[in-house]
Structure 1
C-alpha cells in the first residue's frame, strides 16, 4: 500500500476537485515530505497513475492547469486504503500517518471498530514478542530484537487505546457529524 496514493486521493476527495499544486502544497504544509517521504515528483506521478487506473478524472478547463476529481472507483479505493491503514499495524509510520490525516473521512463507529482491530493485532504482536524474549537462548543478543518488537507493539497499543478513548468521548468531528471535514468536497477553499 502507498501512503502517497491514500493522501493524494484523500486531498482530491476533500476538495471535491483539486489541481496538483494544491495537493502538493497541502501535503508539504503537513510535513508529509518528512513522515511519508512525499515529494513533488511522487505527487504528480500518483496523480497520473491514479488517473490512468480510473480512480481520478482529469479536467483541463484552465489552460496550463489540470484539475482532478475522484471517481466512484477512486472513492472505493480511498476507503479501502484508509481502512486497511487504520486496521493493520505496519512498521512503516507513513501509512498510519496518512490514515490519521484522513481519519475524519470515516464515521466515528467505523473508525473505532477499525482501531479495535489494530489494537488486537498490536496486543497479539506484543504477546508473541514477549514469549520470544522469555524463551530465547542463543545467540542471547537476538533477544534484543524481540524486546524491540515487544516495546514497539506495546507503545502502539497504548496509543491506539488512547485514540479509541478520544473518539468514543466525541473528540474530532467525524464523517456525518456537524463541522466534519470528512464529506467529499467539504474542505474549505484556502488558496
Structure 2
C-alpha cells in the first residue's frame, strides 16, 4: 500500500487535471506530512512513475510569463481502478513498520551486554520523548482535520447503534 500513490490518484480524481506544483500545494495546504508518511518533495517523481504506468496521462501544457512550461496530468481509467484498490487497502489493511530493535537484540553479542542496561534506559528516554512529540503533533494537527470534519458533518450519526464504528462527536 503506497500512501503517496493513494494521495496523488485521489487528488487527481477529486480535483481534475493539474500540474505537479498544484498537487504539491494541495499536499502542503492539507498538511499531508503531518499525518502520513508522504514527503511533499516526492510528489513529482511519484507522478512521473504513475504516468509511466498508465495511471496518469499528459493533459496539456501551460506557460505563464517567464515561468517554465508546466505539464498537466489527469487520471486515467486504469488510475481510477488502481485508486479503488488503494482506497480499499487503506481502509481494510492494518499497516505498521517493524522496529529493527528486535533484530538487533537477537543479534547482540554477549560481550556487549555490560552496556545493555544503559542502552535500554537511553532507548526508553528517547521513546518517551518521541511519544510526547507525537502527542504534540496530534494536538497541533487537530485544527487541520478538515477532510475528516467535512465527512463527519456530511454523515448522519445517530448514535443509536452502540456497535457502530461511527458515533457522534
How far apart are residue 48 of structure 1 and its match?
0.2
Greater C-alpha radius of gyration: 2
Q: 1:57 aligns to what SS in structure 2? A: strand
Q: 2:96 aligns to what SS in structure 1? A: coil
Q: Does 1:73 align with 2:87?
A: no
Instruction: Name the residue aligned to 2:20.
Output: 20
The answer to whether the 8 Å contact 2:6/2:87 transfers is yes
Provide the C-alpha distance between the structure 1 equivalents of 2:95 and 2:12, rounded to a whole number of angstroms: 25
- Number of aligned positions between the proteins: 105
Alignment map for 1:134-173 (pairs within 5 Å): 161-162=164-165, 164-165=166-167
Provide the C-alpha distance between the structure 1 equivalents of 2:6 and 2:80, rounded to a whole number of angstroms: 11
Instruction: Name the residue aligned to 2:48.
Output: 48
The answer to whether the 8 Å contact 2:58/2:71 transfers is yes
The answer to whether the 8 Å contact 2:33/2:39 transfers is yes
1:89/1:40 Cα in 2 relative to 1: closer, same or farther (>3 Å)?
Answer: closer
Provide the C-alpha distance between the structure 2 equivalents of 1:58 and 1:40, rounded to a whole number of angstroms: 21
Provide the C-alpha distance between the structure 2 equivalents of 1:28 and 1:161, rounded to a whole number of angstroms: 33
Q: 2:54 aligns to what SS in structure 1? A: coil
How far apart are residue 36 of structure 1 and its match?
1.8
Cα displacement string for residues 76-127 of structure 1 (whole angstroms, at most 9, x for unaligned residues): 00010011110112226xxxxxxxx6997xxx8xxxxxxxxxxxxxxxxxxx
Instruction: Name the residue aligned to 1:4.
Output: 4
Q: 2:61 aligns to what SS in structure 1? A: strand
The answer to whether the 8 Å contact 2:56/2:75 transfers is yes
How far apart are residue 58 of structure 1 and its match?
1.4
The answer to whether the 8 Å contact 2:56/2:79 transfers is yes
Provide the C-alpha distance between the structure 2 equivalents of 1:28 and 1:37, rounded to a whole number of angstroms: 13
How far apart are residue 62 of structure 1 and its match?
1.4
Correspondence for 2:94 among 83, 89, 93: 89
Instruction: Name the residue aligned to 2:29.
Output: 29
Provide the C-alpha distance between the structure 2 equivalents of 1:68 and 1:88, rounded to a whole number of angstroms: 29
Provide the C-alpha distance between the structure 2 equivalents of 1:80 and 1:42, rounded to a whole number of angstroms: 22
Q: After TM superposition, which residue ranges in structure 1, 4 or more long, deviate above 3 angstroms? A: 101-104
How far apart are residue 33 of structure 1 and its match?
1.7
Provide the C-alpha distance between the structure 1 equivalents of 2:17 and 2:25, rounded to a whole number of angstroms: 15
The answer to whether the 8 Å contact 2:17/2:59 transfers is no
How far apart are residue 165 of structure 1 and its match?
3.9
